[in-house]
Structure 1
Amino acid sequence: MSLPQPVPPSWKDLGKSSNDLLGRDYHFSGTSLEVKTGTPSNVSFKVDGNRDSKSSFVSGNLEGKYTDKVHGLTFTQAWSTANALRTQIELDNQIAKGLKLETTTILHPEKSAKSVVLGAAYKQPGLHSRAVLDVFKGPTFTADTVLGRDGFLIGAEASYNVSEGRVTKYSAAAGFSAPEYAVTFHGLSNLSTFAASYYHRVSPDVEAGAKAVYDTKATSPGVALEVGTKAYVSLQGLFGLALDTQRLNDASPTGPAHKVGAQFVFEA
């Protein structure tokens, strides 16, 4: 008799541990600050900002979130320094077990631009499927599914432009996930870009990861490689350095071929 299968990660979360370590957690593009706070009334706030190391441009975002766990309702309102207003409403496990519905609207008052995205996700043991409809862009319908069994994962994604009546994008992925490590292979952008990522929790306080990307349409041939590690301390302050393995002879480690940055996170 086989053991009950867990719910696999969603398509966008395949390889997430490695991507977070090398991207979000191991910050390369500059210096960022993130502050999170919460209240006893199920309201949380998040303020984040980033200063780009190349352009010196500073961007920020203020977000408030209310969660009603009894009724499975989450309401999020965010406002960015680009004057973009984002509203998101989520309803989880109310219509059917494992079904989550959400609506996201983004408004740019100065540009008179708006976006409305309707989404649904369905999760069951061994299955994680999502569907998204971008109302004003296309409209474009995107669906993805991930199947999992005994740690092995396989998934696919496709986008369909309703007005044009054609498939505009498709991708596939496969991998293996265990409590201490994960390996993921992606074929993206209509199978023109291939990526392999690896994540390893060496100990409770140390993580390591690597990612290799090969773009068949790139003007310069070769494989882009990133590696990184993270150690936990009382204050989460992270410094990142990304080296272009094809330009290791560049004189400056912060030149065009390389990236350096830092990130600080405070949570209360």
Structure 2
Amino acid sequence: MSAPQPVPPHWKDLGKSSNDLLTKDFPIFGTSLEIKTKTPSNVTFKVAGTRDNKSYGISGDLEGKYSDPKNGLTFTQAWTTANVLRTTVELENQIAKGLKLDLNTSLLPETGGKSAIVNAAYKQPGLHSRAVIDLFRGPTFSADTVVGRDGFLLGAEATYDVTSGKITRYATALGFSAPEYAVTIHGLGNLSTYAASYYHRVSRDVEAGAKAIYDTKSTTGGIALEVGAKAYLDSAAFVKAKINNSSILSLAYTQVLRPGVKAQFGIAIDTANLAGEKSAHKVGANFTFEG
């Protein structure tokens, strides 16, 4: 008898280990602050703000989130400094086991702009499917499915425009995932762009990854390549480094100062323009307080 198959990741999480290694924890575009608190009644508040190093503008949002695990209900509402109101309602494992429904809306009071997206996700051992309906844009209907068996993953995505009656976007992916490493190949943008990613947990304290992207429609040609690594210094600190074939070297350091308090620092250096313009290099920091 074969072992039960785990639930595979959904479409957007294919190659997540490599993407997280190469994109997360690099606060190089400004200084940001995030504060999270939770009340005894399961209401979580989050205040986040970012000061952009290029425009010196400050953006932020205030978010409140209520969770009722017993009834599978989550309600989230946020208000941003751009005067955008966002609301999300999620319902999980109530209509059927493995089925999650959510409604995401946004409203711009000044312009009257609005959006409403309905998501349905169904997951079972060896299967993870999603359907998305954008009610005001198109409207469009998107669906994706990932099937997995013995570590092998196969996924596909397509978007259908209801008004024109045409499939406007499609993509596919193939991958293999194991506890120590993962490999994923994507065919995106109607199979006009190809991406390959690799992740390897070298040891308990070291992770490495790489990603290559080839766009057949690019006028410059060539492959965009990026490699990176993460090393844990101890249980409360780690460093990350990455470099791409555009000669951009990024370094980051994360330190948990105490339970609930985390500081991150990052810098991106254009190694091909070390003595050039100041704007060629980026530096930033992020501070998170969670109670």
TM-score, with structure 2 as normaliser = 0.83
Q: Any stretches of 5+ residues in structure 2 without a counterpart?
A: 238-255
For 1:86-121, what per-residue CA distance to the aligned partner results, in whole angstroms no more than 9, with x for missing partners? 111011000001011111110010111000111100
- After superposition, the Cα gap between the structure-2 partners of 1:178 and 1:27, relative to the gap in structure 1 and judged at 3 Å, is farther
Contact 1:26 1:228 in 2 (8 A): no
* In structure 2, C-alpha distance between the alignment counterparts of 1:53 and 1:14, rounded to whole Å: 32
- After superposition, the Cα gap between the structure-2 partners of 1:121 and 1:137, relative to the gap in structure 1 and judged at 3 Å, is same
- After superposition, the Cα gap between the structure-2 partners of 1:258 and 1:162, relative to the gap in structure 1 and judged at 3 Å, is farther
Q: Which residue number corresponds to residue 250 of structure 2?
A: none
* In structure 2, C-alpha distance between the alignment counterparts of 1:6 and 1:164, rounded to whole Å: 38
* In structure 1, C-alpha distance between the alignment counterparts of 2:20 and 2:276, rounded to whole Å: 22
- Compute the displacement of 1:41 (Å): 1.4
For 1:234-267, what per-residue CA distance to the aligned partner results, in whole angstroms no more than 9, with x for missing partners? 34433445567xxx53335886666544333332
Is 1:238 aligned to 2:264, yes or no? yes
- Compute the displacement of 1:229 (Å): 3.1
For 1:47-66, what per-residue CA distance to the aligned partner results, in whole angstroms no more than 9, with x for missing partners? 22223332223221211110
Contact 1:28 1:261 in 2 (8 A): yes
Q: Which residue number corresponds to residue 57 of structure 2?
A: 57
Is 1:265 aligned to 2:282, yes or no? no
- After superposition, the Cα gap between the structure-2 partners of 1:253 and 1:177, relative to the gap in structure 1 and judged at 3 Å, is farther
- After superposition, the Cα gap between the structure-2 partners of 1:145 and 1:254, relative to the gap in structure 1 and judged at 3 Å, is farther
Secondary structure at the aligned position of 1:21 is classed as helix
Secondary structure at the aligned position of 2:70 is classed as coil
One-letter amino acid of the counterpart of residue 156, structure 1: A
Secondary structure at the aligned position of 2:102 is classed as strand
Secondary structure at the aligned position of 2:19 is classed as helix
Q: Which residue number corresponds to residue 132 of structure 1?
A: 132
- Compute the displacement of 1:218 (Å): 1.8
Q: Any stretches of 5+ residues in structure 1 without a counterpart?
A: none
Once superposed, what is the RMSD of the aligned Cα atoms? 2.2
* In structure 2, C-alpha distance between the alignment counterparts of 1:255 and 1:178, rounded to whole Å: 43
Is 1:190 aligned to 2:190, yes or no? yes
Q: Which residue number corresponds to residue 110 of structure 1?
A: 110
- After superposition, the Cα gap between the structure-2 partners of 1:255 and 1:13, relative to the gap in structure 1 and judged at 3 Å, is farther
- After superposition, the Cα gap between the structure-2 partners of 1:170 and 1:88, relative to the gap in structure 1 and judged at 3 Å, is same
Q: Which residue number corresponds to residue 27 of structure 2?
A: 27
One-letter amino acid of the counterpart of residue 73, structure 2: L
- After superposition, the Cα gap between the structure-2 partners of 1:123 and 1:76, relative to the gap in structure 1 and judged at 3 Å, is same
Instruction: Name whichever of 73-82 and 37-46 sits farther off.
Output: 37-46
* In structure 2, C-alpha distance between the alignment counterparts of 1:47 and 1:14, rounded to whole Å: 30
- Compute the displacement of 1:208 (Å): 3.1
Number of residues paired by the alignment? 265
One-letter amino acid of the counterpart of residue 23, structure 1: T
Q: Which residue number corresponds to residue 212 of structure 2?
A: 212
* In structure 1, C-alpha distance between the alignment counterparts of 2:200 and 2:85, rounded to whole Å: 38
TM-score, with structure 1 as normaliser = 0.90
- After superposition, the Cα gap between the structure-2 partners of 1:75 and 1:94, relative to the gap in structure 1 and judged at 3 Å, is same
- Compute the displacement of 1:14 (Å): 1.0
- Compute the displacement of 1:204 (Å): 4.3
* In structure 2, C-alpha distance between the alignment counterparts of 1:219 and 1:188, rounded to whole Å: 17
